[in-house]
Structure 1
Amino acid sequence: MRRSPLFTLPLALLLAVTACSGEETGGGDAGREAAGQEGGDVPAEALRAAEGFVASLQAADGEAGCALMDEAARKALADAHGAADCAAAFPPYAESLQNGEGVETGETAMSTDLGGDTSIVTVTLVHPEEDPGSLELRQDSDGQWVATRLPGVSLGGA
């Protein structure tokens, strides 16, 4: 028996929402502490994306790291390292950040773009011996949180 796309789409959306709702930063004091800020909550999905990015740095895994970036960030990374694509540029990028060794996610902040239309999560990356910088994440058209700005990589005026 063949299912109608009208049936499978709502089911897929329900499963996606259910799968992503496991951990949340909540609205109470503990949620604000977990988010590293006072005020609005940082979505758990954004924090997981940042942690995934750090894990990809530690593994120098270009496929995983680039999957967590938007197109502009992938292009900027490839251009910055003179590589054909993001996956080829990622291992030297990870090496420039000591292969992510000792890098952890730190303080987070939730804001919006200048128009107030797009939510932005900024995650400070911390390291015991240096300041790697911050990772900026936004939701893509599919609602997934992706890195739009990387520590140490210029987007060329973006």
Structure 2
Amino acid sequence: MRRTLLCAALPLFLALTACSGGDEAPDGEAVEEAAQGDGQEGTEPSEEDAAEATDAARTVAEGFVAALIAGDGELACTFADESAQAAIVGQGDDGQDCVEAFPDYVAGLPGAEEIEVGEITVNTDLNGEALVANVEMVHPEETLGSLEVREVSDDEWRATRLPGTTLGGA
């Protein structure tokens, strides 16, 4: 399916650049970049911004993992934004809040005590405005996915998507 989308997108890109009023054809590098883009990420942040985002994401991820290991729902929920908390609530019974639903969330994860923070990648959202960090959650026997961390306000970072849940955030 991806190949079909790329094949369909390339003629459109060429047609749009040909109609742009310029006399020059697009260079091969520009065509290749357009064909390879998957629309899932924004622009690449500066090295300084990426380093700050990586540090903040690591702090959130390590805190969240420590809360998982300790079974501390109150602490874990402080690391999650509203949508991620709603995803945790979705794992529990009706009427529970994040803290009450946390044990059900943990029960759905394989061996929470073995989860570790892995590689962190930083990019921006589709608009290129907000930094987004994806933290690989490592487990020796299972593929857990990643913890997504975003800056929700100045110098305040929260998990917006959690492993083991359906989409729980932005």
Any gaps of 5 or more consecutive residues in structure 1? 1-38
| Cα deviations by residue, 1:58-96 (Å, 9 ceiling, x for unpaired) | 111110000000011111220232341111111121122
Which residue of structure 2 lines up, in the alignment, with residue 117 of structure 1? Answer: 129
**Alignment of 1:138 onto 2:147:** no
- Residue identity over aligned pairs, in percent, reads 47
Cα distance in 2 between the residues matched to 1:141 and 1:93: 26
What SS class does the counterpart of residue 80 from structure 1 fall into?
coil
Larger relative contact order, structure 1 or 2 (CA cutoff 8 Å, min sep 6): 2
For residues 51 and 104 of structure 1, do their structure 2 counterparts lie closer, same or farther at Cα, with a shift above 3 Å needed?
same
Q: Residue 151 of structure 1 aligns with which residue? A: 163
Q: Give 1:155 deviation, angstroms.
A: 3.0
Alpha-carbon distance in 2 for matches of 1:94, 1:156 = 15
8 Å contact kept, 2:162–2:168: no
Whole-angstrom CA distance in 1 between matches of 2:130 and 2:82: 17
Partner secondary structure for residue 115 of structure 1 = coil
Partner of 1:26: none
**Any unmatched runs of 5+ in structure 2?**
1-46
TM-score (structure 1 length as normaliser): 0.69
Instruction: State the shift of 1:97 in Å.
Output: 1.7
Aligned-partner SS, 2:148: strand
Give the whole-Å Cα distance in 1 for the aligned partners of 2:145 and 2:115: 10
Distance of aligned partners of 1:156 and 1:144 in 2 relative to their CA distance in 1, 3 Å threshold: closer
The equivalent position to 1:68 in structure 2, one of 55, 63, 79, is 79
Q: In the aligned structure 2, how far is the partner of 1:156 from the partner of 1:140?
A: 15
When normalised by structure 2's length, the TM-score is: 0.64
Indicate conservation of the 8 Å contact 1:58/1:99, yes or no: no
Give the conservation status (yes or no) of the 8 Å contact 1:108–1:122: yes
The 1:85–1:43 alpha-carbon spacing in structure 2 relative to 1, beyond 3 Å, is same
Which runs of structure 1 show a deviation greater than 4 angstroms over 4 or more consecutive aligned residues? none
Aligned to 1:100: 112
RMSD: 1.9
Q: Is the 8 A contact 2:161 2:168 kept in 1?
A: no
* 1:156 to partner: Cα distance: 6.7
**Matched residue pairs, number?**
120
